[in-house]
Structure 1
Amino acid sequence: MTNIRTLVPDIDEDIHYASADNFTGAVVDGYQAPACYLRTAAAQALARVESTLRAQGYRLRLWDCYRPARAVAAFVRWAGDLSDTRTKAAHYPNLDKGKLLGEYIAPVSGHSRGATVDLTLLHCAGTTCQPLDMGTDFDFFDPRAHTDDPGITPAQRANRQRLLEAMTAEGFVNYAPEWWHYSLPPAAVPDLIYDVPVR
């Protein structure tokens, strides 16, 4: 595993699961620090994406990278607690919580293989960067988060397409129900799941 900051020291990180600002409403088990670790090949590919985007006036913002298996188990426990709906308005306003397991929350995550990243785009003018409008926030469990959702605006679609093109140029593959979710399959070891805490 490689900490992305060893390759891009000033990359923009907003690791949601290391704080209470996520769909569980609490710091997630396994996140002891707000850091992005990836398998080295995935980290190198992501650094190339960042370099290409910077030349175009854009940057990446990272929300999640390697995810310990214990964090995934915490997500499953949270999804099973139907009495806790504190984050419904922000993350799943149109779904019953009992329907989140499956398409949105899985018992095994590719993130735990160290070659998957959740991220968005920033547009920069000089040293000031602002997030692009992607149509939904991160971890919004709804069809509107599908990469090709027909209900988003042309500008939002163009922003998602810019991210998609930048990531696929380096071999990343998008998970269609989540516009922010990309994996680099060759960088992962099949069936190998890590559970080392993020420190």
Structure 2
Amino acid sequence: MGDFVQNFLLKIISGIVLFSASLEAQEIPEGFVYIDEVIPDIVYDIRYAGAHNFVGKPINGYENAQAILSKPAANALAKVQKELIQKDFMLKVFDAYRPQRAVNHFMEWARDSDDTIMKQEFYPEIAKKDLFQLGYIATKSGHSRGSTVDLTMINVSDCENVDMGGTYDFFGEISHHNTTQISEQQKKNREILRLIMRKYGFRSYSEEWWHYTYDMEPYPATYFDFPVK
């Protein structure tokens, strides 16, 4: 066999192996889907895959900056996106399905009173020891059931964030839906998102303006732990 043919075959074989490995890495349980497969124009800012989050480092279980949801939730979210685009807005997703190992990571972090490197940005007015009591950190998260999503709106024209009067994952009263610390326009922006999410079956969470759960979630009592790849 000539060198050219041999090298050519090796390249083909290597390509097959790499393709197979890629497919294996993308495998998720039946009933789940990557959001960008259902909504190709979705924008991601997956904070837990990097260091820009309240812990200050990548979170266990986030091996890639991807977002996964149960299929019914993802299909409903696609309807939200379609209607928002008619209003010159789009969705930006911060987090969706969250492995239980990530929740465990949060719990370990919360118990370490000396680790406060991100306090000024994410919880400047709250003692770290109170995060459990105040409901910001929990031993179980609805995200791990696969039908909860954290998101905001961006402008179609420039992809800039719509002003919601507070930042994602900020632990404080300004993040609450009933806060009095934001302007009328910021309240209006939050309400645009809340009403459209509600229209397509997502309920809001009073403490976090970005947090929504699909009413008809298919796994209401199951907490998954497969990684986000």
Please report how far the alpha carbon of residue 147 of structure 1 lies from its aligned counterpart in structure 2 after TM superposition: 1.1
Paired residue secondary structure (1:129): coil
- Deviation digits for residues 164-199 of structure 1 (CA, Å, limit 9, x no counterpart): 011001010001000000001312312201000000
Query: Normalised by the size of structure 1, how large is the TM-score?
Result: 0.97
Paired residue secondary structure (1:179): strand
Tell whether 2:79 aligns with 1:40. Answer: no
RMSD: 0.8
Distance 1:185 1:169 in 2: 11
Tell whether 2:146 aligns with 1:104. Answer: no
**Following superposition of structure 1 onto structure 2, how do residues 8-47 of structure 1 map, counting pairs within 5 Å?**
8-47=39-78
- 1:139 pairs, out of 141, 165, 169, with 169
Counterpart residue number, 1:196: 226
Distance 1:120 1:144 in 2: 15
Distance 1:168 1:152 in 2: 22
- 1:75 pairs, out of 106, 113, 121, with 106
- 2:210 pairs, out of 169, 177, 180, with 180
Instruction: Give structure 1 stretches of 5+ with no counterpart.
Output: none
Counterpart residue number, 2:117: 86
Paired residue secondary structure (2:83): helix
Paired residue secondary structure (1:187): coil
Tell whether 2:200 aligns with 1:170. Answer: yes
**Following superposition of structure 1 onto structure 2, how do residues 50-61 of structure 1 map, counting pairs within 5 Å?**
50-61=81-92
**Worse-superposed segment, 40-49 or 149-158:** 149-158
Instruction: Give structure 2 stretches of 5+ with no counterpart.
Output: 1-31
Counterpart residue number, 1:3: 34
Amino acid at match of 2:79: R
Amino acid at match of 1:26: K
Query: Normalised by the size of structure 2, how large is the TM-score?
Result: 0.84
Please report how far the alpha carbon of residue 10 of structure 1 lies from its aligned counterpart in structure 2 after TM superposition: 2.1
Counterpart residue number, 1:121: 153
Paired residue secondary structure (1:186): coil
Distance 2:176 2:62 in 1: 27
Bigger Rg, structure 1 or 2: 2
Amino acid at match of 2:39: V
Distance 2:179 2:60 in 1: 32
Amino acid at match of 1:33: N
Q: Would you tell me which structure has more helix in proportion to its own residues? A: 2
Amino acid at match of 1:63: F
**Worse-superposed segment, 148-157 or 28-37:** 148-157
Please report how far the alpha carbon of residue 123 of structure 1 lies from its aligned counterpart in structure 2 after TM superposition: 1.7
Paired residue secondary structure (2:216): helix
Distance 1:137 1:151 in 2: 13
Distance 1:71 1:124 in 2: 32
